[in-house]
Amino acid sequence: MSHPDFTVEGRAIDAAGITEHARIEVTGSRISSVIPLDSETTHASNEASNEASDEVSGQAPSASGSSAMWSASDMPTIIPGFVDLHNHGGDGGAFPTGDEESCRRAAEFHRRHGTTTLLASLVSANEQEIVRQLDILKPLADEGLIAGVHLEGPFVNAHKCGAQNPDRIVPADADMFARAASRHPGLIRQITLAPESPGAEACLDVCAREGIILSLGHTDADYDTTMNFVSKAVDRGIMVTATHLFNAMPPLHHRTPGAAAAMITAAKKFPGRVFVELIADGVHLHNGTVDMVTESLPDSAFFITDAMEAAGKADGSYVLGALAVTVADGVARLTTTDGSVGSIAGGTSTLFDQFVRAVRRGFDPVDAVRFTSATAGRVLGFGRDASGDPGSAVSSSAAGTRAGHLSVGAPADFVVVDPNFELQEVYAAGQALHVREGETGSAR
């Protein structure tokens, strides 16, 4: 039996459950064994805190998790690397407009913060601008820094543009979409479009042929239009998601339920085929809205950041695509000149922030893992070989359906967190990206 390259030890939490004390061995880019060491754990934690464990022992062990449950152990916790399917950048780097160095900075920022699989999201742009960014992002995908590109627009509804530049929004053009998809085959993994955009239906052909995730959003579509469109897409074998559910779509009204209600219903009706994105950062959605959806769709909702270049940076002036954005108190809004409150313009959180936020709010850590890695991994891995394509370099971009699981054969994508929710280490495909000691990048 060959020797592992390295091992990590701690409390392991993945989408399948909690192992109080485990040793994870990594060989090459994959997890080669997971060894439970439970008896040692019990001993250690009893000695460490008699009073605390007396209190805890009165509760049902399977009760819903909480931050108290998180810190019950003084060992580090190992969780799967996060999967972010909607991300425009960070640390001053911007996927929609940046040069290669800028895009690299953005990807590396999120990877250092535990997002070991991410799609680079563009914004509504013309064909020339899209092709320029595809060319820039191709080497990053080849290296496994990103898992592919997400086109957010330009085939969306100008009335629900949010922070999309209305000048760049055009009716759906399947030929243009097909040209973009064939520029670097396999690079575009997802497109956000509005089902009511003229020509949207023809785009289903491109999604079906290229295995591109169809994400419905920036839409004013009513319930029936949305539901019909989703049904057609599912019939064609396409994976469907809602782009940041509730944001940039009409609010849910009891007599005009609209796209939001249709997407929730469709996610229930087509399990494993229709999912919804949530920006669970405490800014884009009320906690109650997040809870309503996660309680209703425990296996079909997942978190995204919609992060823009200000993620990881101080308040100030930034851009999203071609639009000026002001970040105040960590909230990014379109800059206005008339004193009005601008639209929320992308996020400034990381998925690690959202994971910590969820657990502190009382989410079971196992559920928090599902919402920040496992479910998005299922979406990304749909129709693909779970073990990854043996013809390509094994990288975090191949995590796919194995994401969210600390199991033998899964890519060695994981994060080590201390009992105070401090990020200690990040590994992607078995490579250390972040080790707290001597790494100052995370201190910002």
Question: Which residues contribute to the site for Zn ion (CB under 5 A)?
Answer: 152, 306
User: Please, what is the Cα angle at 424 between 419 and 427, to 5 degrees?
Assistant: 125
Whichever of 152 and 210 has its CB closer to Zn ion, that residue is: 152
Kindly state the smallest distance separating residue 163's Cβ from Zn ion, in Å. Answer: 8
Whole-number Å distance between alpha carbons of 1 and 36 = 19
Whichever of 30 and 150 has its CB closer to Zn ion, that residue is: 150
Kindly state the smallest distance separating residue 217's Cβ from Zn ion, in Å. Answer: 8
HSE-CB of 97 using CA atoms within 13 angstroms: 15
Whichever of 333 and 405 has its CB closer to Zn ion, that residue is: 333
What six digits make up the tokens of 58? 């009165």
From residue 260, alpha-carbon distances to 164, 198, 266 in Å are: 19, 20, 10
HSE-CB of 353 using CA atoms within 13 angstroms: 18
Kindly state the smallest distance separating residue 152's Cβ from Zn ion, in Å. Answer: 5
Kindly state the smallest distance separating residue 122's Cβ from Zn ion, in Å. Answer: 9
Kindly state the smallest distance separating residue 345's Cβ from Zn ion, in Å. Answer: 9
Whichever of 344 and 416 has its CB closer to Zn ion, that residue is: 344
Whichever of 85 and 274 has its CB closer to Zn ion, that residue is: 85
Kindly state the smallest distance separating residue 220's Cβ from Zn ion, in Å. Answer: 17
Whichever of 69 and 163 has its CB closer to Zn ion, that residue is: 163
- Could you give the residue ranges of the DSSP H alpha helices within 49-125? 50-57, 67-70, 100-112
Beta bridge partners of 149: 120, 188
Burial profile 321-341: b = 16 or more Cβ within 10 angstroms, e = fewer: bebebbbeebbbbbeeeeeee
φ and ψ of 320, to 5 deg: -125, 110
φ and ψ of 258, to 5 deg: 70, -170
Measured from each CB, the residue nearest to Zn ion is 306
